[in-house]
Amino acid sequence: MNRRISVAIDGPAGAGKSSISKVVAKKLGYLYIDTGAMYRGITWALLNAGISIDDVDAVEAALSKIQLELRVEETGLSVWVNGTDVSQDIRTQYVTSHVSQVAAQKAVRTKLVEMQRHMASAGGVILDGRDIGSIVLPNAELKVYLTASVETRGHRRWLELKDSENISLEEVCRTVAERDAMDMNRKESPLVCVDDAVVVETDHLSIEETVQTLVDLIRKAELGGHHG
Ligand code: CDP
């Protein structure tokens, strides 16, 4: 039987990390952990409680009162905050436009990274995010940096949003680029492509092709003897 490894998938907004990871995990019987959903859950909770998200002390004080839970369901992961299912609410443009500011804060990252490492401890996991290969799982047997041009990523995100939100393609591309800049330039755990990551450019790959690329990489890594 193949070894069940830890897989780190990082990359900028809209690169397809979560849709691809979900399918790959299902195919391989791995647990998929969407770490972005956790940052979104905390952001939703802070906004819902009326906390001013740029007040670092207020955010830190509020964190202990936020009970965040990821539940594995038939349909995928759901995100719960203090007993409420917020899986839909965390995807709104309102949460999206605030999440990077929350994710830049050290207290928030410390809390979530600890939860993520705990969830990943048994192996057989795919985590996607911004700092998985660099900070959360630096010893992951496979690290992937999934990316595409900002136009491709903005267009994909716009297709997901256009039926539920009144937003133009240009505006989506602009917010994607802004979020990338914040995520790449922040002091705490910025988005980086680590040296030992395999870069997968998805501009000209279909979902199926990207899934297959990752499945092949994981199968190969499962056979490798290295465990960092
Ligand atoms: O799916 P999308 O690319 O829009 O983003 P996401 O994975 O849901 O992540 C939302 C935001 O959370 C990112 O823009 C980052 O600011 C933050 N994040 C992070 O800082 N570290 C992670 N490991 C995952 C997400």
Query: What residues does ligand 1 touch, defined as CB less than 6 Å away?
Result: 13-14, 18, 35-36, 39-40, 99-100, 103, 129-131, 179, 183
Q: 139 near 90, Cβ under 8 Å?
A: no
| Cα-to-centroid distance, 185 and ligand 1 (Å) | 14
SS (H, E, C) 56-125: HHHHHHHHCCCCEEEEEECCEEEEEECCEECCCHHHCHHHHHHHHHHHCCHHHHHHHHHHHHHHHCCCCE
Could you tell me the distance, in angstroms and rounded to a whole number, from the CA of residue 160 to the centre of ligand 1? 16
pLDDT band at residue 2 under the 50/70/90 scheme: confident
Distance CA 37, CA 3 (A): 27
pTM, whole model, 2 decimals? 0.94
At residue 139, the pLDDT reads 97
Mutating to test ligand 1, I would choose from 9, 183, 186 the residue with most ligand atoms within 8 A of its C-beta, which is 183
Cα 99 to ligand 1 centroid, rounded to whole Å:
7
More confident residue, 65 or 225: 65
Output the residue whose Cα is nearest ligand 1's atom 3.
13
Residue nearest to atom 16 of ligand 1 (CA): 100
Ligand 1 atom having least distance to the Cα of 157: 4
CB 7 within 8 A of CB 228: no
Which is the closest atom of ligand 1 to the Cα of 14? 3
CA atoms of 177 and 1, how far apart (whole Å) = 43
- 190 with 183: CB under 8 angstroms? yes
pLDDT tops 50 at residue 227: no
pLDDT value at residue 76: 82
Cα(228) to ligand 1 centroid in Å equals 26
pLDDT (0 to 100) of residue 228:
42
pLDDT tens column, 161-178: 999 889 999 999 999 999
Cα Rg, the chain, nearest whole Å: 17
Average pLDDT over residues 137-143: 98
Ligand 1 atom at minimum distance from 90 CA: 8
For 173, the token pair is 């591309």
What residues does each domain of the chain span? Answer: 6-222
The CATH code of the domain at 6-222 is 3.40.50.300
Predicted confidence at residue 1, as pLDDT, reads 63
Question: Whole-angstrom Cα distance, residue 72 to residue 19?
Answer: 15
Q: Three-class SS of residue 224?
A: coil
Please give the pLDDT value at position 225: 59
